A and B are shown apart, each in its own frame.
Chain A
Amino acid sequence: MFEQVLTFLQAMADQTGVAHFWWGNLVMIAIGCTMILLAITKKYEPLLLIGIGFSCVISNVPGSDLVLPGGLFNYAYHGIELLVIPPLIFFGVGAMTDFGPMIANPKLVVLGALAHLGIFISLIGAKALGFSINESGAIGIIGGADGPMAVFVCVKLAPHLLPQVAVAAYSYMALMPLIQPPVIKLFTSREERLIRMRQMRPVSRLEKIAFPIVMGIVVNLFFPPVAPLITMLMLGNLFKECLVTDRLYKTAANDLMNVIIIILTVGIGSTMNAEKFLTVKTIEIVILGLVAFLGGTASGVLGAKFMNLFLKEKINPCLGAAGIASVPIAARVAHIVAAKEDRENLLIYHAMGPNLAGVFGTAISGGIMLALLGVQ
């Protein structure tokens, strides 16, 4: 009788999460809690980190139904994996974004490509570490600092690495205020950070309406592999700029975007299970992602300095760091670094130009990569 009760209790215990809990879960729960803590205390991208952190914690409590097939977090992940969520994110971003700074100062657009050297540094690094060429491409694209694009390219090139790539991309994007300033300061002098930019020309409504249409055509014509994302970005922007679809634009920029952020963050966090995540490969990907971000920031700053060799009117090299994409975080960081030297140096509007160009830069790099690797 007593033995039967014990067996019964043992069977019950096996059905709870406690029996399957191991130290890896504890590590991942600590990581999730750190994300939440950073979001609350340091205000590091709370919209991303709270959802990712919480979902990471829950996915490391063995037995949580939410992350198992049929669970809500699992469905959220499928939305990312099936490439439904990334284009919708771009749709919302397009509706929230004023491309005026990019249209007004086309010479800064090239920074959107120069700041992506990090992609290739980590691509070569990944290959040297033994990843396949497709896996290396998926890891390299983390350096584009564009979450949806990283997810998109990764699903096409190496879907099995999606959890690690998505987590690295979004975590580093959220941690840009920590990662970028030391690199910017390392490669610029105080005098360079003090450079003020001339006020930009105003951009007319006609130009703002023409922009998404022209870019939609250009991207679909030249970069079909990544066109779905940029096309949705442009559709969202057209809703905003045409002035006659306020209802749609406001929905895309607010309600829809908020829903998508919730789905995206819990979907990504749900992949951070200790068994899948605590591997040597993950550590390598995380380090390569950091190298990509550091390399991209450095190449952007150095690219801006290189441009200054030929420009009569010098540009503030901090703007180069904004070319890494991650809208608008990188632009904000560039502005803050410059403002620390001169409070009245308002660089944010200027930084948005290369920052937005960085989105196109990542898409172009990703598109060329997919084409060269023969992936549709």
Chain B
Amino acid sequence: MVPDSVYGAVLLSIIDFFLSIVMITGIGFVLTLFPLLNRLGTLDEEKIRKGGH
């Protein structure tokens, strides 16, 4: 797929680096939506702990 040469290494590096930034920015975007979860309500931690192991 990627040529086994310095050119291939440069190509692989450029694609990988920029795709990584795009992907992790995507994760960052998903995380910005997390506060919306709090609209569903809050969890009573004491109550949860009582039934735990």
Contact = CB atoms under 8 A, between A and B. Distances in A.
A120 B29 contact: no
Contact of A206 (B8, B28, B43, B51): B43
Nearest to A136: B9
Contacts of B23: 113, 222-223, 364, 368
Given A206-B38, A360-B24, A137 B53 contact: no
Interface in A84-111: 102-103, 106-107, 109-110
Contacts of A199: none
Interface in A323-376: 357, 360-361, 364-365, 368-369, 372-374
Q: Is the interface of A mostly helix, strand, loop or mixed?
A: helix
A206 B40 contact: yes
A109 B53 contact: no
A206 B45 CA distance: 10
B8 A113 contact: no
A244 interface: yes
B51 A244 contact: yes
Contacts of A137: 12
A204 B35 CA distance: 8
Interface size class of A (residues with CB under 8 A): 35 or more
Interface stretch (A3-11, A125-133, A186-194): A125-133
A107 B29 CA distance: 8
Nearest to B43: A205
Contacts of B42: 204-206
A311 to B, nearest CB: 14
Contacts of A116: 17, 20
Contact of B25 (A102, A110, A205, A214): A110
A361 B51 CA distance: 36
Interface string A195-208: 00000010111110
Contact of A103 (B5, B21, B31): B31
Nearest to A244: B52
Contacts of A117: 17
B37 A372 contact: no
A368 B20 contact: yes
A247 interface: yes
Given A109-B24, A127-B8, A245-B53, A369 B16 contact: yes
Contacts of A119: 13, 16
B19 to A, nearest CB: 5
B20 A113 contact: yes
A109 B27 contact: yes
A124 interface: yes
Interface of B: 1-6, 8-10, 12-17, 19-21, 23-25, 27-32, 34-35, 37-38, 40-43, 45, 48-49, 51-53
Interface of A: 102-103, 106-107, 109-110, 112-114, 116-117, 119-120, 123-124, 126-128, 132-133, 136-137, 140, 201, 203-207, 209-211, 214-215, 218, 222-223, 242-248, 357, 360-361, 364-365, 368-369, 372-374
User: What are the 7 closest A-B residue pairs judged by CB atoms, nearest first?
Assistant: A120-B13, A244-B52, A127-B9, A109-B28, A106-B31, A113-B24, A106-B28
